[in-house]
Amino acid sequence: MTIEWQTISAQYCANRDSTIPPSMKLKSDPPKDMLNVTNVPKTCGLLSPKELELTENYDATGLADLIKEHKTTSKELVVAFCKRAAIAQQLLNCVNELLLEEALEQATKLDEYYATTGQLVGPLHGVPISVKEHISLKGHTATASFLAKANEIAEADSDIVQTIRKAGGVFYCRTSQPQSLMHLETSSPLMGTTLNPFNRKLTPGGSSGGEGALLGLRASVLGIGSDIGGSIRSPAANNGLYGFRPSTLRLSRKGCQGAVKGQESILGVVGPLAQSARDLNLFMKACMAGEPWLEDASIVPLPWRTPNLPTKLKIGIMRTDRVVTPQPPVQRAMEIVIDKLKDSPEYELIDIEPFKHKYSWDLISELYWLDGGKACYDLFAQVGEPLEPLTEWILKQPNVKNHDVAGVWKLVADRDEYRNQYIKHLQAYGVDFVLCPAGPGPAPRLGETRYWTYFSVWNLLDLPSAVFPVTKVDPALDVKDESYEPMNDDDAFYYQNYKPEDYKDAPVGLQLVGTRWEDENLLAALEKVVRIL
């Protein structure tokens, strides 16, 4: 017998499928044992040679330049990227909604405006932009992947959407996220499981996993995600992308949907996933030019500043967090970057130790659920929505419980004390940035992402952090150390589950973290670092 949540899911997925025109459907599905599907858009026959060139060879900055130089139009780009997004959905289950008609309408207006006036409306004029589903678009659902919210329609664009529209960006696709928004994977009873384009047995990450999968298949050049514990950086690392977690209160979260409003113990942020480091800068500059503090009084009124980097960058090298040892592909990626940096006179590398990372997880996981998860449980109960295994895992972390006001005050005081101690710890090393793993390994097998701390510690500290791609798993090089003795249960889980052949083709990324709240300097340093790789 069909029950309520199954009916809601079936209706939602049917509506999603109806947004993909028959002309954008694959003639046949690739074999299920084809794990790496990144070449399917090139071979399926749905994209013209020009559309393949536009989607394969350019980042957002490059596409904006093509429009400016009259070498393409926004309308042409929208058609190309909608086709590719439709392919991505059929291969990876990453799209909540294709916005073909309204994207074409907006693109046509932008093309006509440029042809008539010779002026661009902003730095993203005509560039197709994808966006995570819980970031509201007027007239569309904003479920945050709760079935109880499946029929809720946003009455207005979120602030970040308004900002990007003013900069000329064209929204053409909305992407998947996990149940409760609190997985580093992307699965929900609403839509099912989103897959990794490089290996469909692996996760694209989460919670902005639909964005990660979409960009990984090059069905987007620039997407908007959100991050409260790694939700931008995890998909970026898992799909060979660039992702940026800005400091809080630089970009507005107004209009982003979830289970709880007003929770400020750990603030989420919105930010970009991109095909290049320079596109992260492009996105942030475009947002800051829109003066988001005029619409959201909680935003710090701080324009995007000219970076002020020291002549010689001091980079702290944190090889491990001393809780879960990185798997061999991540260790090799660290050595690749370290070898490049140490050969340059522009960098001073300093080995640094982590500071109480196990405690950081105990603290942040408690701060996430000050009501013990009641708001989520209540939403699940409304329609009988079953819990995904990773939802149950995060809600049942040992410190999760319902807090009274005094308990909340104590936790926030503990948070602030940890922040102060960690900043002093970093200051003692005198480093400008920290280079560290982006997770304990490459993209995990589906259902196995159970360690967040390589990402979440920087959320707890509210330090800007960015992920960049380095290499891919090579089973011949990334051999398991059979003599290693795990330090604890979490370490044993990742050690025992590492089989290099299972991760073939999986991208491996690293993370660069700012030691101060200077987003501009971090992105400038990132561009400098990736130029020598």
Q: What pLDDT, in 10s, does the model give residues 302-324?
A: 999 999 999 999 999 999 999 99
Structure tokens at 82: 């909608």
3-state secondary structure of 502: helix
* Closest C-alpha to 106, from 25, 47, 161, 41: 161
- Which residues fall within 8 angstroms of residue 51, CB to CB, at 6 or more apart? 79, 80, 83, 84
Segment 334-383, tens digit of pLDDT? 999 999 999 999 999 999 999 999 999 999 999 999 999 999 999 999 99
The beta strands (E) that lie in 180-320 are given as 187-188, 192-193, 222-227, 242-245, 269-274, 313-317
pTM of the model: 0.98
Task: State the Cα–Cα distance between residues 195 and 499, nearest whole angstrom.
Answer: 19
Chain centroid, CA 63 distance in Å:
21
Task: State the Cα–Cα distance between residues 336 and 256, nearest whole angstrom.
Answer: 38
Q: Is the pLDDT of residue 213 over 90?
A: yes
Residue 261: band (very low, low, confident or very high) from pLDDT cuts 50, 70, 90: confident
Q: Is the pLDDT of residue 262 over 80?
A: no
- Which residues fall within 8 angstroms of residue 297, CB to CB, at 6 or more apart? none
Q: Which of 4-8, 66-70, 257-261 has the lowest mean pLDDT?
A: 257-261
- Residues marked active site are found at 132, 207, 231
Element (H, E) at 225: strand 222-227
According to DSSP, residue 192 is labeled E
Structure tokens at 107: 């693109």
Tell me what pLDDT residue 437 has. 98
Q: Is the pLDDT of residue 2 over 90?
A: no
According to DSSP, residue 503 is labeled G
Residues 169, 287 contacting (CB under 8 angstroms): no
Does 223 belong to an annotated binding site?
Answer: no
Tell me what pLDDT residue 379 has. 96
Does 120 belong to an annotated binding site?
Answer: no
Q: What structural domains and CATH numbers belong to the chain? A: 4-258+266-294 (3.90.1300.10), 313-531 (3.90.1300.10)
Give me the chain's average pLDDT, please: 97
Segment 413-455, tens digit of pLDDT? 999 999 999 999 999 999 999 999 999 999 999 999 999 999 9
Element (H, E) at 106: helix 100-117
Amino acid making up residue 422: Y
Burial class of residue 105 (count of CB atoms within 10 Å of its CB; 0-12, 13-18, 19+): middle
The beta strands (E) that lie in 41-169 are given as 95-98, 128-132
3-state secondary structure of 19: coil
Tell me what pLDDT residue 509 has. 98
Phi and psi torsions of 141, nearest 5°: -65, 155
Structure tokens at 10: 């079936």
Segment 498-518, tens digit of pLDDT? 999 999 899 999 999 999 989
- Which residues fall within 8 angstroms of residue 16, CB to CB, at 6 or more apart? 89, 95, 96, 97, 191
| C-alpha dist (Å) from residue 54 to 47, 58, 92, 484 | 10, 6, 21, 47
Token pair 């030019």: residue? 289
Segment 111-165, tens digit of pLDDT? 999 999 999 999 999 999 999 999 999 999 989 999 999 999 999 999 999 999 9
Does 228 belong to an annotated binding site?
Answer: yes
Tell me what pLDDT residue 264 has. 83
Does 384 belong to an annotated binding site?
Answer: no
| C-alpha dist (Å) from residue 268 to 223, 245, 420, 468, 511 | 17, 9, 20, 21, 18
Tell me what pLDDT residue 278 has. 98
